[in-house]
Every structure is written in structure tokens, then in C-alpha cells.
Amino acid sequence: MVTVAILWLSTGYFGGIGAPFAPYFWPYLAQLPKKKERKRPVRVYMDGCFDLMHYGHANALRQAKLLGDQLVVGVAKLLGDQLVVGVVSDEEIVANKGPPVLSMEERLTLVSGLKWVDEVIPNAPYEITEEFMNTLFNKYNIDYIIHGDDPCLLPDGTDAYALAKKVGRYKQIKRTEGVSSTDIVGRILLTFKQKEAGSMEATTDANVAVNQNTGADTYDKVKSQLSNFLPTSRRIMQFSNGQAPLPGARVVYIDGAFDLFHAGHVEILRSARQLGDFLLVGVHDDQAIRDRRGYRPIMHLHERTLSVLACRYVDEVIIGAPWEVSRDMITTFNISLVVHGTVTEGSSVVGIDPYAVPKSMGIFQTITSPKPITTVSVATRIIDNHEAYKKRNLKKKASEDRYYTQKKFVSGD
């Protein structure tokens, strides 16, 4: 090999343009390493209800995308990866879990808005049947079907992914601890109570026992529903783009609570991003929201931060952003435009306009919120169907308790 290399260089240098080797050296060319042929990207499939979208859903899809990039077929690693996500139909959710909170349209908006998702299949079945599995393999060119390490059981107790496991096309990722849709429904049911038709009264973990006259038992139940999520800097980095705005970029700023991250949030962030080159989002802290809404957010600051960071239209987040947009803040982040939607929650302190400075600088703009959805409107759907969701949660909680009792360590991110 060394001889061949020397002759290549010498003939190229002294011989000029032409064949670099004499014919008697050609047999040695077979010994040279051959360039690997480019393969198609690995395509992985993951499905879910994605009802009450939270950072656990986002992290599962992030892991699925990452896993697709790591899979090896044959002797050559496939180049790139693509994540295809199936969103389970309303009918299938009702049959297997209970009534969904969000509509199919809202759930599609949330899933499509995640930065790791390449393609979405609406109205996917809850069970991976042989027919649907063949459709995934033949029509969508799926290489592997992915799910978390928590069990996904059908009403008869069988594994929804049994067939995928049987044919060797199943891969498992680690479940994100500390949150689930069941948990969030529980938080909502214990945060709000129905006063009368069409109105709700919010309560907090600190005053629920007093307001409902149920004593310490109810207070303990509320405390048990609080988030168990333990935020780490690594998780935030995994969700972050890790990029600063380019020189001369038009930085757009929008702020809010972004509680119970929903389709309305995705659409307003999309609209804001279209107005510039870099979208900076301010997420207010729990106390600031409580001061203006009268109750703490359902999701705490770091949970809400991850949900916002997972959105494909967001470039950077200010964690615990100030309520008022100051001149110093505008200068620090080189903000070109401050925007706010027409659908808002909470109220500002009387006499104080949080956008007074950007308005005086001529860089403030109100944009029409594409959807009228709010955190309270989503919570109202659950309150209005209190009994149905209570039964759904009791059933699901039993399954989750079994998972945590039998849980074993699973490597993953």
C-alpha cells in the first residue's frame, strides 16, 4: 500500500496529467479501501396519543430521533435519520384509555410543532397490528418501531407492540420521569374546582384545605400531585438549539406563561418566528404568574421551559423572564421586535404596562393569535367531564404504579 501511494504521488508529480499507474500496478488497486455507498436514512416510527402534550412526550420523540441516528444495519451505519410519528385517533383513545382532552387537530399541531419530528401519520391505531405494521414497513419505509420502557397494554392485557417485537423490529427508549398526562389531569382536577356552570375557581396547594374545608387529607393529596421532575442542565442543553443569533439577525421577542403547552402556543410562536430570523421566548416564573392569575401554574417553570424549547420555531428561552421588558433587556439581547398575541391570560398590575418601553421605542407589535385556546379553556374541558377523567386516571394510575414498582434501569437520555 505504501508503494502504491508513493508511485501515485511520483507519477502525479513527474508524469503530469494522465494515468498515474502503469498497467502492471492495476491489480493492487483492488486492495485500496473502497468508499462506502450512501445508504438511505434510518426511518423510525413512534406513536402515541400525545394528549396534554408535555416535555415527557417531547423527550421521548427526541430520544427516538437520536436512536434512529445510532442504529446500524449490516456493516455500514445509515446516514441521517428520520422520525415518523403516529398520532392515535380519538376513537382508539376512547376505546383503550378514555376520552381525550385535545382534538385530533390540536394534537397534530403539537406533534408537528416539535423540532425532532419529520413526518406525522394522523389517526394511527393504538395497537401495532400485522396490517398496520406492513403498511409502516412497505409504504412508509420504517426500519424500527420505538416505544418507551413502560408497558403499553390493550384492554385484554396483551402488549400493543407484541408483533413488532416478534419480528425483531422493535427498539426501546427510556421513559421520562416526573410527568405524565395522567399526572397533569390530576393536577388540574386538584387545582380547579367548579363553582357553577360556566365558571371556575382556582385554588392553590397552600389554600385548598381552607377553601374546600376538607382538612389536611386534601392538602396532602394536592402535594402528592405536584411535579416530581428534577431539572438538570444537561436536559435543558439537550432540548436547546445551542445557537446564538447571527450578526445582523432580526431578533423577535415574545413572552408568556406557556402553561399546559397547547396548540395555541405553537401557532403564536410560529407567527412570531415568521417576523424575524431568531425567536427569543421569555417564560415567566411561577410566582409572577401567581401574582397576576391568582394561582400557581399547573406546570412549574422548568417544565414549561422544556415545552417551549421543544418547539421547532423557538431558538432560545429566557428562564424566569422579567414581567416588564426593559431597555437594558432589549439591548442585552439585541431585540429588534417585541410581540404579543391578542389572546392573553392573567392581568398586568394596574397602571403598569409591561411593554411600555418597546412601545416608546417603536419596536412593539400586537399579532393576532391564530387560535383562541387558553390554559383555562383546556382545563375547563377536564372539569366539565370530571367523572370521566377521574375514572380514566384511576385506571391509568394503577398501571403506572405497577410500572414504578417493577421498574428497572434502562440506559438512555
pLDDT digits (tens, 9 = 90+) for 102-152: 999 999 999 999 999 999 999 999 999 999 999 999 999 999 999 988 777
pLDDT of residue 5: 47
Cell digits of residue 393 = 386516571
Q: What is the pLDDT of residues 80-97, one digit of tens each?
A: 589 999 999 999 998 888
Partners of 84 in the β-ladder: 45, 119
DSSP character for 198?
T
Quick one: pLDDT at residue 75? 35
Residue 392: phi and psi, rounded to 5, are: -60, -40
pLDDT band at 25 (very low <50, low <70, confident <90, very high): very low
Contact by Cβ (8 Å): 40, 96: no
What is the distance between the alpha carbons of residues 192 and 406, in angstroms, rounded to a whole number?
33
Three cell numbers, residue 361: 421605542
Q: Chain-centre distance of CA 226, in angstroms?
A: 20
- Is the pLDDT at 247 greater than 50, yes or no? yes
Fold of the 233-375 domain: Rossmann fold (3.40.50)
Element (H, E) at 221: helix 215-225
Range with the poorest average pLDDT among 133-142, 269-278, 285-294 = 285-294
CB 189 within 8 A of CB 390: yes
pTM: 0.79
Domains 42-173 and 233-375 share a fold: yes
Question: β-strands 278-283, 316-319: how paired?
Answer: parallel
- Predicted confidence at residue 397, as pLDDT, reads 54
Computed from CA positions of residues 125, 127, 131, 134, in that sequence, does the dihedral angle turn out positive or negative? positive
Give the H or E element holding residue 238. helix 233-239
Bridge-based pairing state of the strands 335-341 and 364-367: parallel
Compute the mean pLDDT over every residue in the chain, rounded to the nearest whole number: 79
Give the residues across from 200 on adjacent strands. 194
- DSSP annotation string for 257-278: --TT--HHHHHHHHHHHTTSSE
Cα distance between residue 158 and residue 101, in whole Å: 25
Q: What are the tens digits of pLDDT across the range 324-381?
A: 999 999 999 999 999 999 998 766 556 789 999 999 999 999 999 999 999 999 999 9
What single-letter DSSP state applies at residue 163?
H
Going from N- to C-terminal start, the domains of the chain cover 42-173, 233-375
Candidates 88, 115, 54; CA nearest to 300 is 54
Number of residues written out for the chain: 413
45 close to 144: Cβ distance less than 8 angstroms: yes
Our CA dihedral for 90, 95, 97, 98, rounded to 10 degrees, sits at 70
Pick from 299, 305, 302: nearest CA to 281? 305
Note the pLDDT tens digit of each residue in 163-211: 999 999 999 998 877 788 888 888 888 877 643 334 444 444 333 332 3
Q: Is the dihedral of CA 344, 349, 351, 353 positive or negative?
A: negative
Strand blocks (E) in 233-306: 251-256, 278-283
β-pairing, 192-196 vs 170-173, is unpaired
> Which one has a higher pLDDT value, 407 or 41?
41
Hey, which residues does 147 pair with through a beta bridge?
172
CA diameter of the chain: 97
Mean pLDDT, range 55-70, rounded to an integer? 88
Give 193's strand partners: 201
* Confidence class for position 78, pLDDT limits 50, 70, 90: very low
- Of 250, 254, 239, 411, residue with least CA distance to 321: 254
Q: Which fold has domain 42-173?
A: Rossmann fold (3.40.50)
Q: How open is the CA angle 357-361-364, to the nearest 5 degrees?
A: 75
